[in-house]
Amino acid sequence: MEREHEEAMRSDFRERTALQHSGYQPGVTDAQIDEIYAKTRQIDDRWNSGPHADQWRYLSDAYADWRDAPDTMDRFIDNIEFNRAKGEDFGLDEVQRRSLYQARELTEPHRVRPRGRGQRER
């Protein structure tokens, strides 16, 4: 994947996730939700039917994995970096590796934070 295509993919994915999250804001109308879904479908369709569909799906899957199992993904990233330090690629190309980090970055603000030490439920 050429660098400019990767940059376009990352920008589109960032826009897609922002659109998705905007649909959950208070006061969003049904018409606005329909528009949001239409825009996200357009973005998905463009990438899923193009020459970089595999990389788009990898990024989408990584995003879902980070959203659904962040602790597991943290361990996965630790494993990848440990193996890279030993000269092993863990079967990932650099675009996929960067996709894992982008997915983590995009899900970070939406993760539920565990309570800090010393806090109690009332």
d(CA 39, CA 25): 17
Residue 117 covered by a domain? no
Q: Give 9-53 pLDDT, tens digit per residue.
A: 999 999 999 999 999 899 999 999 999 999 999 999 999 999 999
For the chain, give percent helix, strand, coil, nearest 5.
70, 0, 30
Tell me the pLDDT of the chain averaged across its residues. 90
Q: Is the dihedral of CA 10, 11, 14, 15 positive or negative?
A: negative
Q: What is the pLDDT of residue 119?
A: 45
Read off the pLDDT of each residue in 98-110 and give the average, rounded to a whole number. 94
- Please report, to the nearest 10 degrees, the dihedral formed by the alpha carbons of residues 39, 106, 83, 75 taken in order: -120
Residue 122 covered by a domain? no
Any residues with CB less than 8 A from the CB of 82 and at least 6 apart, and which? none
pTM for this predicted structure: 0.85
Domain count, the chain: 1
When pLDDT is cut at 50, 70 and 90, the band that residue 118 belongs to is very low
Cα distances (angstroms) measured from residue 122 to each of 22, 102, 115, 118: 32, 37, 13, 12
Decide: 12 and 5 in contact? Cβ < 8 Å: no
Domain that holds residue 10: 3-110
Residue 119 covered by a domain? no
